[in-house]
Chains A and B, each alone.
Chain A
């Protein structure tokens, strides 16, 4: 069974640009969450999608948005990039069946804003 796939793996953007990251969950998983990881703040929750609906949202500005498609693939968009957006962006998928709530992570996208 293929794991969670994130593309691209690395990205360099300049301030003010926008970026779109992609995540393909494990087959059969309907829940996809996004996290930002930085050395200072650790892993912070951005948002979660389930069946194409945003179910939860973390404490991030509106420049961060996402969506989920009918095949459960998800995209995350960051507009008007700032230097502080440089981070590792991780996507996690979950089967979300009953009590099985463990999340499985992709390799992440390393975003550098210059």
Chain B
């Protein structure tokens, strides 16, 4: 059965800390892995990863994919209270956008 597993499920850190969120997957016909940030309602697109070993960066956020070991990590450095959100990992496994399997998410709380 295709699945995406995120860990940890929740995390509490203090401002300035660095966090690493994990996403592992088992799917057939992998196409890409996507990270989203969900604060209140709409998940906001962060990264799409298709190739192993190539780091994607956006400010304090970065992500990398390991297609051999079937996992991805999302790093957030110098965390801020505004980083508090649920971070979702999804895998596109069929080429069609609809074939997205989501993990349950990691709830990150950043304390001042």
Spell out A's residues near B (CB within 8 Å): 3-4, 31, 33, 35, 42-45, 47-48, 50, 55-56, 88, 90, 92, 94, 96, 99, 101-108
Contact = CB atoms under 8 A, between A and B. Distances in A.
Nearest to B103: A42
Contact of A48 (B42, B50, B98, B105): B98
Contacts of B101: 45
A56 B98 contact: yes
Contacts of B102: 35, 42-45
A14 B94 CA distance: 37
B105 A42 contact: yes
B48 A90 contact: no
A45 B100 contact: yes
9 contacts: A45-B100, A45-B101, A96-B97, A102-B45, A103-B34, A104-B45, A105-B44, A107-B41, A107-B42
Interface residues of B, number: 26
B58 interface: no
Nearest to A96: B97
Contact of A103 (B94, B97, B105): B97
A43 B88 contact: yes
A56 B42 contact: no
Contacts of B44: 105
B104 A42 contact: yes
B80 to A, nearest CB: 23
Nearest to A110: B41
Nearest to B105: A42
A47 B42 contact: no
A23 B96 CA distance: 19
Nearest to B40: A107
B92 interface: yes
B95 A101 contact: yes
A94 B41 CA distance: 18
